Structure 1
Amino acid sequence: MVTVIKKGTDKTQIQKALESVSVLMGINAFAYCGKVKLEKEPLAMQKNLRHWWE
């Protein structure tokens, strides 16, 4: 399932979209918002993974 959130969407509409996904999937999407702790910059990690692949 894909949920598209366009630029300029207000917070209440985003919360409704996330709630509808969590109801369908049986998960609490709000529990994971902003919880990822990265040790490196995301772009550096991506470049490293792509370099490894070749």
Structure 2
Amino acid sequence: MALENRIDSLKTRHGELEVALDAATARPFPDEVEIHTLKKEKLRIKDELESLTHH
């Protein structure tokens, strides 16, 4: 059950990061550092999700 909760939490966070990334890139003067940070965190979460779901 704890694993399922962690996976659900990561999926939620991944979706939140996607929304934040879309908003950050839609700005007239996007902050490249913020975009890079969001992408890096999103990738970290994706990797963790893949690790948890394939074991």
Smaller-chain TM-score range? 0.3 to 0.5
Q: TM-score, normalised by structure 2?
A: 0.38
TM-score after normalising by structure 1: 0.39
* Structure showing greater relative contact order (alpha-carbon pairs closer than 8 Å, 6 or more residues apart): 2
Of Structure 1 and Structure 2, the greater helix share is in 2
**Structure possessing the higher radius of gyration over alpha carbons:** 1
